[in-house]
Amino acid sequence: MNASPRALTRVFIAFLLVVCLWLPQVRDIASYNHSIDLDGLNNVTSHGNKHYASRNANQTSTTTIVPFRLLSTDSLYHHYNMSTTPIVLESHKLLLFTVEKVGSTVLRQLMRRMMGYADYDFHGGGIPHVFPKNGLRYLHQYTLEEAQHMMVSDEWVRAMFVRDPKERALSGFLMWRPPPVEEARLRSAARGELTDAGAGKKGKPGMLAQCCKTIANNDVNFEVLCLHHVSTFDGFLDMVEDPKTVNLTALAEDYRLLSGREKKDTAVRLKFLLRNSPSCPDKHWSPITQWRMERKFYPRLNFIGHLETAQWDIRRLLDKLHPRAWEDYGLSGWGSNRNESMFTSASTVLHAKGTENYLNDFYNEEIERRVEKIYADDYENEFLELDVVKVGEASRHYKERFVEKYLQGKDGYSL
């Protein structure tokens, strides 16, 4: 059925409304002339992953079943990347797909231990994360034929640990949030008086600062305003939310309905602008499905563990690799005194699990719904085995699910 002239007119008016509302903001976000170049922000990531945008664009449906073939151009094979290239443990026929903010540090330490390093739990100077300092083996070091065999053989375990997206998002924010900008400096930035952003240096707040720096396009005053905005969890979500998930027409209408006083508020203007700008991708908070690897790899995973049940799942994984693997590598030798089992205390997982103590300080119902929308791809990726659960209830939910599988006699589930 052809659209009526009246319907087409409404669409055209809505389009004009969006354009008319957003263009002035780009020029006048802080009461001074301002121009922002948004090109290329989708390629901004702390670990130099230039293939983020191309991978995301070329993904195939998770439900399409096709013969698997590893290509030399595939992102996790054609060159080493600390966060995406799988770790290879030949002795136990294991491919480990680590994910940042999901116990990746201790999992890499486990790989070092299983390879025989006496200082397996050392953390510093690039160890255990950076190749070749960490002494680990990676998929890109093997021939294409060898790597293909590892990806398809039933003899090989292809494992990944995942985490409740609401906790992972907050964990990434708490790790990399910049400090709030002092009031006097904030007022100067709003007036366009600053000549030095004072951000973007190595370390904190480097991750988010780089995104603010890119979107500001050499405007240090906007950069400072942006940094202050993303120092809150709500502002952080404005920065990392993909505008493709936002109803821009409704967002423009919301802005139109604001009072004149509200429209002059810098935080309000920043919020509307950032939600309409390309997202700020990074390995510490981006949805796994969007950055980790091409979608064709997810059906090849044959082991999924959860950080919420890591103390049980790590034994399930090691038992799958060898009858003595848990006793040799997981039962003891962990924690600050090497007298704990893996994942049995916060010290074993370093900073990863402490986030659960802060959930109620940062989440409300509106923010919870936003995060569910941002991480929709992960929830819908059937191979990640993630459920939408109320904030703060992930630990209970996944433990109950594990116990249910144990009681059903599922292979490998033991307590």
Dump pLDDT digits (tens) for 163-186.
Answer: 999 999 999 999 888 888 889 998
Name the pTM for this structure.
0.79
User: What torsion, rounded to 10 degrees, do the Cα atoms 364, 368, 369, 374 define?
Assistant: 140
Give mean pLDDT, residues 188-199. 83
> Is pLDDT above 60 for 266?
yes
Q: Tokens at residue 33, please?
A: 């002339």
Instruction: Provide the pLDDT for residue 31.
Output: 36
Instruction: Provide the pLDDT for residue 369.
Output: 95
Residue 371 near residue 166 (C-beta atoms within 8 A): yes
Instruction: Provide the pLDDT for residue 347.
Output: 62
Instruction: Provide the pLDDT for residue 351.
Output: 47
Cα 111 to Cα 329: distance, rounded to the nearest angstrom: 9
Give mean pLDDT, residues 155-160. 98
**Which of 75-84, 198-207, 290-299, 382-391 is predicted with the least confidence, judged by mean pLDDT?**
198-207
Q: What is the mean pLDDT of the chain?
A: 80
Number of Cβ within a 10 Å radius of residue 40: 10
* Residue 264: pLDDT band with limits 50, 70, 90: low
Express as a percent the part of the chain with pLDDT over 90: 52
Give mean pLDDT, residues 247-257. 66
Q: 253 to each of 22, 57, 256, how far by Cα in Å?
A: 11, 29, 5
Cα 391 to Cα 241: distance, rounded to the nearest angstrom: 19
> Is pLDDT above 60 for 53?
no
Return the biggest CA–CA distance within the chain: 75
Give mean pLDDT, residues 289-303. 95
Cα 285 to Cα 340: distance, rounded to the nearest angstrom: 29
Q: 55 versus 360: which is more confidently predicted?
A: 360
Give mean pLDDT, residues 183-204. 76
Instruction: Provide the pLDDT for residue 272.
Output: 77
Query: Cβ-count burial of 57 within 10 angstroms (0-12 exposed, 13-18 middle, 19+ buried)?
Result: exposed
Instruction: Provide the pLDDT for residue 246.
Output: 67
Give mean pLDDT, residues 155-163. 97
* Residue 263: pLDDT band with limits 50, 70, 90: low
Question: Residues with Cβ < 8 Å from 218, sequence gap 6 or more?
Answer: none
Instruction: Provide the pLDDT for residue 307.
Output: 94
Instruction: Provide the pLDDT for residue 95.
Output: 98
Location of structure tokens 């390995």 = 283
Instruction: Provide the pLDDT for residue 32.
Output: 33
Q: What is the DSSP letter of 241?
A: S
Give mean pLDDT, residues 27-51. 33
Q: 127 versus 266: which is more confidently predicted?
A: 127
Give mean pLDDT, residues 59-88. 82
Instruction: Provide the pLDDT for residue 262.
Output: 66
Instruction: Provide the pLDDT for residue 21.
Output: 37
